[in-house]
Amino acid sequence: MSNEEENRSHWENISRGDMQALLALHGNTYFHLIRFGLKICGDDELVKDCVNQLFLQLWDKRARMQPVTQVRAYLFTTLRHLILDELSYQDKIDNAIIRMSGEAAPNELSYEEIIINVQHDEELKKKLHAAMQQLTHRQKELIQLKFFDGLSYEQIAAHTSQSVKTAYNTIYDAIKQLRKLLK
């Protein structure tokens, strides 16, 4: 029996609730998965965690597992997705920590950060409020959604039944008008 045939047999047995088959598949593929994961990400702890998470997910979803002809390829693809998802999540956490600590990336201050910083100064807050009153209802709504609710342009477009381009242009025009009014 070839290694891939053995893996397919373990896969089928896992779907029937055989824990020993899961452990055997883990033993057959663990080091290959670790080596593959390290090519994607050099963080060996993250890779090990993702490999373990992969096998935990297999066990949790064993009753719904579909037959797979290339078990190793399936495991590699799933591991790649898990690692990329974890890296993306960690990047979001790192960015949130930077924003919370008040450190901005060099030469990069978003309009959201500018508006939040303005809110801390009472005089500028009053000026901003007066300037916002001069915007159209639609501009105020989109500024609220983008900078205070944190929605993406795609989410704003879906929320307001507009195209992404229209949402972007409306917000751009509102920001341009706010800049003039706040000078």
CATH code reported for the domain at 111-182: 1.10.10.10
The 10s digit of each residue's pLDDT in 88-147 is 887 877 777 777 665 544 555 566 666 666 555 566 667 777 888 888 999 888 888 887
134-169 per-position pLDDT tens digit: 889 998 888 888 877 888 888 888 888 888 888 888
DSSP code at position 139: H
Check: CB of residue 71 under 8 Å from CB of residue 13.
no
Alpha-carbon dihedral 118, 121, 125, 126, rounded to 10 degrees: -150
pLDDT tens digit string along 45-55? 888 888 888 88
Domain 3-100 has CATH 3.40.50.150: no
Report, as an integer, the average pLDDT of 167-179: 86
pLDDT digit string, tens, across residues 10-59:
888 888 888 898 898 888 888 888 888 888 888 888 888 888 888 888 88
End-to-end CA distance of the chain: 77
Q: Hey, do 3-100 and 111-182 end up sharing a CATH topology, with the first three levels equal?
A: no
The ranges assigned to domains in the chain are 3-100, 111-182
State pTM to two decimals. Answer: 0.51
Three-class SS state of 5: helix
What pLDDT does 124 receive? 66
